[in-house]
Structure 1
Amino acid sequence: MEEPEYAPELDPEHEQAAGWRGFSTLGLFLEEDGWYPQRVDDRPAYRMHYQGANVDIRCLAQIKLEQEQLLIYAYAPMKVPEDKRQLVAEYLTRANYGLHIGNFELDFNDGEVRFKSSLDFEDETLTFIWIRNTIYPSVHLMNRYFPGLMMVMYGEKTPAEAITVIEQ
């Protein structure tokens, strides 16, 4: 990804220059690491996919410009039915306990499940290593815990039983 000859947002004097530099670095990393990112039109973000052993994961990598933060979201490919959301919430809470990087989230309004990891790079230069260490936990943990999510959603296991199976 080539930088334009002059982009005000990359000018060191621009209010959000560090955030835009981070976004440029994020794009370069995603390209070089083989993610095939698609730019999101209305914000500094990219969409991409990750094929895990257990699930095909939709991802979003976003830079919060003013805050100089990197956010990575790994989305489950389906929505949780309304009548299963309490059980799934328990499962995700059990999964979150003890995680060192990131957390699972459930939107009770629509049933969306995602894993989020983030990094604050304020007053620092965002690097490929930091991006890698933020993005891969999201997809790996979604991939790891997805079978348990399915066990709970389809009534095969209780949340506690599903966690025991996944974390063995």
Structure 2
Amino acid sequence: MKKSTYSNEIAKAVEQFLKEKNWHFDFLEKAGLFKFDLKISSKIRKIKYVIDVKNDELVVYGICPVHADEKDEEMMAQMSEFLHRANYGLKNGCFEFDYEDGEIGFRSYIDCDGRLPSAENVKNSIYCTAAMFEQYGDGITSIVFADYLAQEAIAMCEKPLEEQFSDDELDEAELEEAFARLVGGLGGVVKI
């Protein structure tokens, strides 16, 4: 196998973050890939991570262990619609869907052109992926195992968001707290 070209400095920044968290991981040196699993609070329970280090970027992939059945056209259509609805409005990353085998993933990206990613950048990319599977994972399993329609599944997943923000007005501190719970406040939720 030919060695991939990637930034050793970016790889060291990722490795340092993972070691500081005491997370078990594999690093495929020839490919510049970090691999590890992360437990989450969802019916999915665990996602597989692949962090792909390049010369000027870092791509974080979270891969769902639950796939849509590629032979079931209706399930594939519902999952596609569900993931498109989930992606609407996302600013950091997106769900991806492989129409060949039904694989579902979430991808986020860090531009490292001319700079190294901070520990906070790496953390946010990893935790954002976990947060998205925690928010939408039950919808994925509902389509696969309970024949939910995409609209039903997305309503189920986004209802807690509507309830959190249903008060007439939230002050700035309440908005920051809600945002931290949704995106970054996973310290007590993500289990290693």
Q: Name the CA shift for 1:85/1:41 in 2 (closer, same or farther; >3 Å).
A: farther
TM-superposed deviation, 1:125: 2.0
The answer on whether the counterparts of 2:64 and 2:103 sit within 8 Å (CA) in structure 1 is yes
TM-fit CA distance, 1:86: 1.4
Aligned to 2:87: 96
Q: Which runs of 5+ in 1 are unaligned?
A: 1-15
**Would you say how many aligned residue pairs link Structure 1 and Structure 2?**
150
How far did 1:42 drift?
A: 3.6
Moved over 4 A (4+): none
Correspondence for 2:134: 143
Residue 48 of structure 2 corresponds to residue 58 of structure 1 = yes
The alignment's TM-score, normalised by the length of structure 1, stands at 0.84
One-letter amino acid of the structure 1 residue matched with residue 36 of structure 2: M
Q: Are the structure 2 counterparts of residues 34 and 143 from structure 1 closer, same or farther at C-alpha, using a change threshold of 3 Å?
A: farther
Distance 2:152 2:93 in 1: 22
Residues 116-150 of structure 1, C-alpha deviations (whole Å, 9 max, x = no match): 01111100122111111211101111122111011
Name the amino acid aligned to 2:88: Y
TM-score by length of 2: 0.74
Answering whether residue 108 of structure 2 is matched by residue 117 of structure 1, we say: yes
In structure 2, distance between residues paired with 1:147 and 1:136: 18
2: CA distance, partners of 1:157 / 1:79:
15
Among residues 73, 84, 92, which one is paired with 2:61 in the alignment?
Answer: 73
1:158 corresponds, among 133, 137, 149, to 149
Task: Give the secondary structure class of the aligned counterpart of 1:154.
Answer: helix
> In the TM superposition, what is the alpha-carbon distance from 1:78 to its structure 2 partner?
2.4
Provide the rounded CA distance (Å) in 2 between the counterparts of 1:45 and 1:77.
19
